Structure 1
Amino acid sequence: MKKYLYKITFLFLVSVTAISCDDFLDVVPQDKILEDQIYNTEAGIQNAHNGLYLQLASNSLYGQQLTMDAVEIFGQQYNMSGSHNKSTMATYAYTEKIPKATISNIWEKAFTTILSANKFLESIDEHKNVVSAEKADLLKGEAIAIRAMLHFDMLRMFGPIYKTSPNDPGIPYYDKFVTTNNPILPAKEVMAKILADLDASLNLLANDPVFTIGRTGTSTAYDGNPYYATKRGQRMNYLAVKALKARVLLYSGDKTGAFTVANELINFTKSNTFFPWTPFLDATNSANPDRTFSSENFFALSDFNLYAKQKALFDSSLSEFDIYSPLLTRINAVFESNDNDYRSLPTWKIPVVGGKTQKTFYKYEDVATKTMTFRLQIPMFKVSEMYLIAAETAAVPADGIAFLNTLRFNRGLANLAVTAVLATEITKEYRKEFIGEGQLFFYYKRIGSATIPNGSAASGNVTMGALQYVVPMPDSEINFQ
């Protein structure tokens, strides 16, 4: 990571200002001038803050690799047989050219964004009184949450199988802006730092407008400034940070804590109308299907290049060497050949053009009406995951089945019998619920599954262990430790 740490200040500042490339080498005086220009105005601070979200939506992070691409390939979501261009990704050949470059880009972009968040936090404190204290708290709360989220996903990807090896080496943690490499910490220490950051974020976001306006509303809070008090569902708001905390606690093995936080969010959604279950007619609307169940999303990332990525990865005109698509037998097994599931149609269809005989993925396909509020959004944290966490951590299996049945009912499925095998049914729901959202591989790693269904074969499993689950750090990090 050392090779880009020295450039981070300049790169972050350039992301929110226009500057000639000829000035690149003049970093030392220029970056401070740019910083003062940016942080001396409220608009500049907002631009710098929004730059963090733009980085999150990059191809190397949640705009592609950490949602619909690399981590989904690792989770065997697609058929990537030997002839496919990404077959080495699906076989966990991490030292081969394509996986190695992809992994390096993910690592570098994640830690660049972390350091950008740290630079933002440092700079907003240095330029006090440009925005009010309550506005600063909101912005800082989001930035700290972004830092925690990225560290967590890097730990999930590059760290050990936490369930069995929490004291093994994890990743470095950066809670300050620095230009030197931090040491790699034991995974358990990284987890503690993540949870501390989440608690700090929640404290700063205690007065988040999301409590009164939900995900899409507007508020007169924060001087009525729309940057702070509009569409909080497109920001790392208080509820999203809570959802992340539930996810982190479950990964750490704290089932009691995870249940408490997940149930708190479930009760919040029951007490108001801000995050309703997406109804059947919205999810399956022929012209404007809400395939991402947007009403349920505590936080959805906006990506203005989303539909280009949909075409580049999933379009039916792509060759068999390029398309990201499962075998028909595999996707039918996932949905148990039940198209009544809202998540099946219209997200999965055999296309009428392109000559494909398998179902292809339409979750991120554009809709007819360009004013639909759910356009260009990638789900990050949503109500359904809280029900899955509550189901897994419930004190008694019958209560867990009840949580699952609530989710299933709102996906068009019949109730499970109280005697159903809870762990098996939870796995089934993870396989259905998060396709294209980057959660299945991490779920398998969390529970330490020894085998997972082979996405590149009509039947059979892939044997999984540390060699598959623990993605190796890039050489650039290892060589400078």
Structure 2
Amino acid sequence: MKKIFAIIIALIGFIFSACNDWLDVNPRTQVKKDVLLETQKGFRDVLTGAYIRLKNDNLYGGEMMWGTIEYLAQHWVVATGTTNAYLQAYNYTDGSVKDRFSAIFKTYYQTIADVNGLLEVIDKKKDIFTKGNYELIKGEALGIRALCHLDVLRLWGPVPSGEISDNKILPYVKSVTNEIHDYSTYEQFVKLLLEDLDEAERLLKGVDPILEYSIANLQDETTCDVEDDFWIDRQVRMNYYSVLALKARLYFWTQDMPNAALYAKKVIDAKDPSGKKMWTLATGVTMESGDLACASESIFGLSVYDLGKKASSSFDLTGNGIHEQSFIMDYYAFPTGERTTDVRFDKQWTSLSKNGQSIYICRKFHQLSDNPMNELPLIRLAEMYFIVMEATSSTTEANGLFSEYASSRGIATADLSSNKLRTLTKEFNKEFYAEGQMFFFYKRVNATGSINYIPLNAERYVAPLPEREIVYNNK
């Protein structure tokens, strides 16, 4: 069923791309949108369009997973004089770097426009929905809007642990219009984010089948009593627990540690109707089965039918030059000639020789031809563990969770009563390589050291706004 869903998504994406950008904010296309949103199916199609947009190369289909955001974290080898080299040097004045960030910024707000198109009218059309569909569609749309705005805040907003001014920083967009959107202060932006997530949580809590069935059952509509296949495969949709995880991520970002730990634990402790945990940490056996990206841990992800093809072209010596430098050995920290017990080193990395030097290539998103997962995890259970381990005030709780995590990854446990941040920084780096998380980690804690001899500072943590935004908003 998941494969069928992916094919349908791909087909819809082709149809959408063949139209004149029908979801763009343009009077010429307004009629198309109005006609589409006269039926429940039309609302579903618009929501599907937003999911497709999330898989765009400018977002989680590339730049915000293993592309731009990972170059900012100093994770890949680069060729001198390229856009990626300028990114790693934080040369935000280079024209090609500005263009890259502008494309990412534009695509985030296009996705936001996708969901805003349906959110603006859904309350007026409530009577066209069959049971639960109004709540499910609106809840998912609000969650997607929050997801995009949160990443916009994390990339273009200020360092959250630094001094926060009252200046207006970014637009929190809740309407579809040709007019320039008002900018919000940091505090206003965060407040609007929480309002969206609170409403999404309320809506999904009453209808989401993930609260009634296990993930395994929801991967096959024949094993659960739902209206149709729109209600299954909840791990690749913005589900109830995705919203809780996003709240944990937001609270963590804004330095509200008690609430960050509270919501992350709600996800960690989630159980299916049989009393089993909804998600468990992946192990070497999990990866051996073909789940190299630990998609079994995915609280929210995307179904990408050609993920294996993307991985093959992105992670090799002849493709986009995305391959790991020899300092990968430092992350795994084992003496020359000695094998590490860390299952990620053996399963997620492979070594090849280039110009007589060993190069380590990430295999995380490669797919086994006979059993492709084709799932791109955007929020995983492991992240919830890291949030609680850092945010909790209880050393006992932190150590207990680290022990569970260490056991699953084949590493030695550690006492987090001392050097907690140093230990978690190293493990977070290994865990989320090629998943677009490490730069945000450094920014959140306001790391001021250097990576690969490139110093980090507050200015380098804030991506440049597109020129259009600077001109129209007098930035």
When the two structures are superposed, what TM-score results if normalisation uses the length of structure 2? 0.88
Equivalent-residue separation in structure 1 for 2:248 and 2:20 (angstroms) = 43
1:159-308 matches, cutoff 5 A:
159-167=157-165, 168-206=167-205, 207-218=207-218, 223-228=226-231, 230-269=232-271, 271-285=275-289, 289-308=290-309
1:430-445 matches, cutoff 5 A:
430-445=428-443
Check conservation: 2:251, 2:260, Cα contact below 8 A: yes
**Displacement of 1:193 after TM fit?**
1.1
- The residue identity in structure 2 corresponding to 1:199 is D
Q: Report the 3-state secondary structure (helix = DSSP H, G, I; strand = E; otherwise coil) of the residue aligned with 1:256.
A: helix
1:134-173 matches, cutoff 5 A:
134-167=132-165, 168-173=167-172
Equivalent-residue separation in structure 1 for 2:29 and 2:168 (angstroms) = 38
- The residue identity in structure 2 corresponding to 1:263 is K
1:314-393 matches, cutoff 5 A:
314-318=315-319, 322-328=320-326, 330-337=327-334, 339-351=340-352, 357-370=358-371, 372=372, 375-393=373-391
Equivalent-residue separation in structure 2 for 1:402 and 1:216 (angstroms) = 27
**Displacement of 1:242 after TM fit?**
0.6
**Displacement of 1:196 after TM fit?**
1.2
**Displacement of 1:42 after TM fit?**
3.0
Q: Which moved more, 1:40-49 or 1:380-389?
A: 40-49
Structure 2 unaligned residues grouped into runs of 5+: 1-11
What value does the CA root-mean-square deviation take over the aligned residues? 2.7
Aligned to 1:471, which of 459, 463, 466?
463
Equivalent-residue separation in structure 2 for 1:471 and 1:111 (angstroms) = 16
Equivalent-residue separation in structure 1 for 2:82 and 2:18 (angstroms) = 41
Work out the number of aligned pairs and report it. Answer: 451
What does residue 8 of structure 1 align with? none
- The residue identity in structure 2 corresponding to 1:284 is E
Q: Report the 3-state secondary structure (helix = DSSP H, G, I; strand = E; otherwise coil) of the residue aligned with 1:98.
A: helix
Equivalent-residue separation in structure 2 for 1:428 and 1:174 (angstroms) = 36
What does residue 7 of structure 1 align with? none
- The residue identity in structure 2 corresponding to 1:405 is S
**Displacement of 1:446 after TM fit?**
0.4
Equivalent-residue separation in structure 2 for 1:132 and 1:221 (angstroms) = 18
Check conservation: 1:158, 1:472, Cα contact below 8 A: yes
- The residue identity in structure 2 corresponding to 1:462 is I
Alpha carbons of structure 1 residues 113 and 18: separation in structure 2 relative to 1, 3 Å: closer
Equivalent-residue separation in structure 1 for 2:21 and 2:233 (angstroms) = 38
Check conservation: 1:342, 1:412, Cα contact below 8 A: yes
**Displacement of 1:368 after TM fit?**
2.3
**Displacement of 1:83 after TM fit?**
5.4
**Residue by residue, what CA displacement relative to the aligned partner does 1:257-301 show, whole Å, maximum 9, x if unpaired?**
11111122222159524312223222134xxx2111122111111
Equivalent-residue separation in structure 1 for 2:22 and 2:131 (angstroms) = 34
Equivalent-residue separation in structure 2 for 1:27 and 1:446 (angstroms) = 37
Alpha carbons of structure 1 residues 20 and 417: separation in structure 2 relative to 1, 3 Å: closer
Structure 1 unaligned residues grouped into runs of 5+: 1-12, 455-460
When the two structures are superposed, what TM-score results if normalisation uses the length of structure 1? 0.87
Equivalent-residue separation in structure 2 for 1:333 and 1:138 (angstroms) = 46
**Residue by residue, what CA displacement relative to the aligned partner does 1:63-88 show, whole Å, maximum 9, x if unpaired?**
11111111111011112253555211
Equivalent-residue separation in structure 2 for 1:420 and 1:405 (angstroms) = 15
Alpha carbons of structure 1 residues 185 and 31: separation in structure 2 relative to 1, 3 Å: closer
1:93-104 matches, cutoff 5 A:
93-104=91-102
Alpha carbons of structure 1 residues 409 and 25: separation in structure 2 relative to 1, 3 Å: closer
Q: Percent identity?
A: 25
What does residue 128 of structure 2 align with? 130
Alpha carbons of structure 1 residues 475 and 211: separation in structure 2 relative to 1, 3 Å: same
**Displacement of 1:17 after TM fit?**
5.4
1:446-457 matches, cutoff 5 A:
446-454=444-452
Q: Report the 3-state secondary structure (helix = DSSP H, G, I; strand = E; otherwise coil) of the residue aligned with 2:279.
A: coil
Check conservation: 1:89, 1:98, Cα contact below 8 A: no
- The residue identity in structure 2 corresponding to 1:224 is E
Alpha carbons of structure 1 residues 291 and 117: separation in structure 2 relative to 1, 3 Å: same
Check conservation: 1:216, 1:232, Cα contact below 8 A: no
Q: Which moved more, 1:259-268 or 1:167-176?
A: 167-176
**Displacement of 1:352 after TM fit?**
7.3
Equivalent-residue separation in structure 1 for 2:210 and 2:147 (angstroms) = 19
Q: Report the 3-state secondary structure (helix = DSSP H, G, I; strand = E; otherwise coil) of the residue aligned with 1:125.
A: coil
Check conservation: 1:134, 1:222, Cα contact below 8 A: no
What does residue 117 of structure 1 align with? 115
Q: Which moved more, 1:77-86 or 1:205-214?
A: 77-86
Alpha carbons of structure 1 residues 355 and 227: separation in structure 2 relative to 1, 3 Å: farther
